[in-house]
Amino acid sequence: MNLVDVFADPAAIAAAAVDRIEAALAAAEASPTLGVATGSSPGAVYELLRAKHREGTFSLDGVSAVALDEYRGLPAAHEQRYRTVLRRELVGAARTGLREEDLHVPDADAVDPETAAVHFEGRITALGGVDLQLLGLGANGHIGFNEPGTGFDARTHLTTLEDSTRRANARFFHGDLSQVPQYAMTQGLATILEAREIVLIAVGAEKAEAVRAMLHGPVTADCPASVLQRHPRVSVLLDEAAASVLDEQ
């Protein structure tokens, strides 16, 4: 863990994240691969990437994008399926130039999830690994959908969502908890740690305690994000509310 920065607002966080993304894609030795996250935290980043694409200064054309996770059990056309969300945010010439065939999302609905997880890992390997992985942070310290208790050696796997995670995400389902899936497929913590660089974004007071535990607590499965302390190249981009209990060290 080597950089923690606090910004005034999500737009300033997005500008810093986009700087990192541009540098990582430019430095990639082979064809670049960007790890993309969903949730509200990366929204301003994607908005800025689209704006830069419109003005002709940025493109994901020729870049591969690898998703962190995907819900299991949502209909193919559901607006909250992460493939649908990422398509809406990034895919096509009218957005960032990312090509549909270059967006890779775990097949969470596979009849045989273990084989699908192995296949997804193989895809990441075939792409040469992830150059930069964007991450959000759950209020319970999760990254991707690696809930507290997940082993650090976990690779892509099917997981059961905590009730608190389902409640937090109900806002994306018109507040209807019963619509939030119980299962998801996620890159494992070991998979995430293999990304060459990581940019984690956390915004809001409800993330403050998880931010503190991630940065200054013990490296423990109780706070899955604490494993990032073992990664050599992580940028943590926060707003003031998310950083608000860091001073109490």
Which of the residues 107, 131, 147, 197 is marked catalytic? 147
Picking from 69, 159, 157, the residue whose alpha carbon sits closest to that of residue 105 is 69
Reduce the DSSP state of residue 220 to 3 states and report it: coil
Which one, 99 or 167, has the nearer CB to ligand GLP? 167
Q: How many residues at the interface with ligand GLP, by CB under 6 A? A: 14
Q: How far is the CB of 169 from ligand GLP (least distance, A)?
A: 5
Q: Cα-atom radius of gyration of the chain, to the nearest Å?
A: 17
Which one, 67 or 97, has the nearer CB to ligand GLP? 67
Which of the residues 53, 70, 89, 140 is marked catalytic? 140
Helix axes 43-54, 82-90, angle to 10 degrees: 30
Q: Is 140 a catalytic residue?
A: yes
Contact residue for ligand GLP among 14, 68, 132, 243 (CB under 6 A): 68
Q: Segment near ligand GLP (CB under 6 A), from 51-59, 88-96, 138-146, 229-237?
A: 138-146
Contact set with ligand GLP (CB under 6 A):
37-41, 68-69, 136-138, 144-145, 165, 169
Residues marked active site are found at: 69, 140, 142, 147
